[in-house]
Chain A
């Protein structure tokens, strides 16, 4: 799968306002951590803006400019620039109440009403995830530390997008481990020795949702 296209598509969908909440939070965090992605985003927004101004006029039937001046406006809230949107949502990463899935690998699910599941993933230094593939697309954004797999090395601000065709074995950095923000569109499929157990586990888990 060509990651570049999917990344651009994600950034474009964010700029055009057509993402669900999970992907919207994911993408905004990505743009904050990755300046080249943020530049692409600015470019897309600017194109979309030019396009709005090029629109053929639609006929206005019921509103007048005086309606826009007279309407009382609530004073705008001050945006706190020191805290990122994600931190506002989950608090500082150090204080997260992780739930261990297996040794060296923990998760924290964000409670967002959306088809896409948004969660934080923590891998201890040197920990690895057994070989697996994905039922749907999986988006991973590195928030701290780094990990590598068969396809490359991913550090803070990098994203990896996986689909059905990809099988990989991510390994967290020996020194800092790795914390990531992840979106899974559908359940992950595991292979290998531990794979069958984990598959069964995710299978059983799905009954208790």
Chain B
């Protein structure tokens, strides 16, 4: 499903409360959200529980999504991530509601208006400046939550090389963003 198809579905969901559109979105998104939770070390049962919560929020709070502030991908991601934080902290005494800070930041965002496509441009710029190996490492380290040691094992390179490559990538990113 491409971005404009997703956008159409969101409009149908928000404006018409279209359940068929939502079921299409569910079929596309739920397996990806579940995969995200599995990557973060949750067992399948919990991953599905949280996926259901995320999809429920997408349905019930669809009017909160503001396309001029963020891409749909980012909005969905932030909901999924916040649920992960809630879940992981459930057992610690929560004195501070993380969801509040993050929603606050989201709503406050307009203070430094982000030019449309500016972020997209930056992301593709970062990707274009990193070679395949660097992209692989950053994907493993940051997105798949693999430890430096695990990356070294999988790519069969020394641990020191992994560390220095990550350093290098982070410096590059700072220059670009």
Contact = CB atoms under 8 A, between A and B. Distances in A.
A8 B173 contact: yes
Nearest to A42: B119
B26 A16 contact: no
A31 B171 CA distance: 19
A53 B120 contact: no
B139 A39 contact: no
Nearest to A47: B123
Interface stretch (A64-72, A140-148, A187-195): A64-72
B92 A113 contact: yes
B98 A21 contact: yes
Interface string A1-18: 010110111001001110
Contacts of B52: 63, 67-68, 71
A39 to B, nearest CB: 7
A65 to B, nearest CB: 4
Q: Do most interface residues of chain A lie in helix, strand or loop, or is the interface mixed?
A: helix
A24 B86 CA distance: 13
Interface string B11-50: 0000000010011001100111111101100001101100
Nearest to B112: A35
Contact of B82 (A17, A38, A59): A17
A63 B92 contact: no
Given A21-B95, A24-B98, A47-B123, A53 B56 contact: no
A50 interface: yes
Contacts of B90: none
A49 B33 CA distance: 11
A28 B70 contact: no
Contacts of A46: 70-71, 73-74, 119-120, 123
A5 B142 contact: no
B101 A62 contact: no
User: Size class of A's contact patch?
Assistant: 35 or more
Contacts of B101: 24-25, 28, 85
A52 B33 contact: yes
Interface string B131-144: 00000000100110
Given A46-B73, A69-B59, 9 more contacts: A21-B94, A24-B101, A28-B101, A48-B143, A52-B32, A52-B36, A58-B38, A60-B48, A76-B64
24 contacts: A35-B111, A42-B70, A43-B122, A46-B71, A48-B81, A49-B70, A49-B71, A49-B75, A49-B78, A51-B143, A52-B77, A55-B31, A56-B35, A58-B35, A58-B38, A61-B44, A63-B51, A63-B55, A65-B23, A69-B19, A71-B52, A73-B57, A73-B60, A85-B100
Interface of B: 19, 22-23, 26-27, 30-36, 38-39, 44-45, 47-48, 51-52, 55-61, 64, 70-71, 73-78, 80-82, 84-85, 89, 92-96, 98, 100-105, 107-109, 111-112, 114, 119-120, 122-123, 126, 139, 142-143, 167, 170-171, 173-174, 177
